[in-house]
Amino acid sequence: MISHVSLLLRVTGSILLLLLILTAPALTVQSAEGVYINPAAPVQQLQRLIEDLQNGEFFSYTAGKMERDIRRTLPRYFSISLFYVSLSLVFSLLAGLLTGIITAKNSSRGTAEILSFFSALPDFIIVLILQLISITMFQHFGVRLGRIAYFSMNSYFMILPFTTMIITSVTFMVRSVSNHTRTILSQDYILFAKSKGLSKNIIYRRHIIPGLCSQLHGEIHKFISIGIGTLFIVERLFNIPGITRMLFSYGFTYIFDMDVKEGFFQPNFNVALVSILSLSIIYALCYLLFSAILHIIKKAGTHA
């Protein structure tokens, strides 16, 4: 009972915090007289949102001079973001698991250093370097590594965004798997299993992999967070029409009137809310997917 109440409180708290973050741009107002805080702004935004829900205007928003319907445009943005995040993270999870276990015992100092460096390197720097390499390769050798920006709505797949997302997430996964495997390998029960005459293969399948999957389950949140964080940068720098692009292109617009020297904040609050909620759904779907993958690996290891 207590856990349900606590869960309810947490979810409510998270939603309230989310609404506060989304209405934060309207909270501060700049004018010729100075900067002031409009504490009523979040409440006004929420009231407008509820009114829109009642009169059926919740799903419409303006994109330039066009009137659009979220229900029609959202699936496209959602599917592109989900495609990039899930595919790159699944690849990173599996590749990270395999590489991490192999490198746990035999990794040279150099491999560890390279992984550590790439996991620290900012995602936007990786994008810029990849774009630079692509341009240089094409100009000097005529080799086309991949498109450096998204042009067509008909083609989903772009190799450079995937490479960026894989680099940021796979380095985290390999390091994590490697560290956990090393910790498990140094445990006394492994020595006990070895002294009983169990083969390396069985020790790995029955002790190390299940233990590793349990440990990794606790790190899924961080793993997906890395993926979602990179998605914002990747969609921005490669001009990919995903959820984050929808959020930044149509969720908020800032207009500054030079004549009266006043900035106007023009929100499509419904778009911002739907975008963030969609991201949360992508997050939850990824969480379920990775939990299932880890569960299958764990069971397969134990029963094989």
**DSSP state letter for 162:** H
Does residue number 118 form part of the binding site for another protein (CB under 8 A)? no
Alpha helices in the chain (DSSP H): 2-27, 41-55, 70-106, 109-120, 123-141, 159-185, 188-195, 200-203, 209-217, 220-237, 243-246, 269-303
By CB under 8 A, name the one of 44, 53, 113, 266 that touches another protein.
Answer: 113
What is the gyration radius of the CA atoms in the chain, in angstroms?
24
Q: Taking the complex as a whole, how short is the minimal distance between the CB of residue 56 and another protein, in angstroms?
A: 26
Closest CA to 189 of 207, 162, 209: 207
By CB under 8 A, name the one of 194, 266, 299, 304 that touches another protein.
Answer: 194
> Exposed/middle/buried for 210, CB within 10 Å: 0-12, 13-18, 19+?
middle
- Please choose, out of 52-60, 72-80, 92-100, 221-229, the segment that lies near another protein by the rule CB under 8 A: 221-229
In degrees, rounded to 5, the angle at the alpha carbon of residue 124 between the alpha carbons of residues 122 and 128 is 120
Does residue number 285 form part of the binding site for another protein (CB under 8 A)? no
By CB under 8 A, name the one of 40, 47, 143, 263 that touches another protein.
Answer: 263
By CB under 8 A, name the one of 82, 240, 274, 276 that touches another protein.
Answer: 276
Does residue number 235 form part of the binding site for another protein (CB under 8 A)? no
Nearer to another protein, 10 or 71 (CB): 10
Distance CA 29, CA 186 (A): 58
The answer to whether 284 and 298 are in contact (CB under 8 A) is no
Nearer to another protein, 162 or 248 (CB): 248
**DSSP state letter for 249:** I
Q: Residue 34: left (phi > 0), alpha (psi -120 to 50), or beta?
A: left
Q: Taking the complex as a whole, how short is the minimal distance between the CB of residue 86 and another protein, in angstroms?
A: 14
By CB under 8 A, name the one of 55, 152, 155, 186 that touches another protein.
Answer: 186
Site for another protein in 8-37 (CB under 8 A): 10-11, 14-15, 17-18, 21-22, 24-30, 34-35
By CB under 8 A, name the one of 81, 131, 169, 270 that touches another protein.
Answer: 131
| Contact code string over 68-107 relative to another protein, x by CB under 8 A | ------------------------------------xx--
Distance CA 22, CA 124 (A): 24
Nearer to another protein, 121 or 293 (CB): 121
Nearer to another protein, 57 or 284 (CB): 284
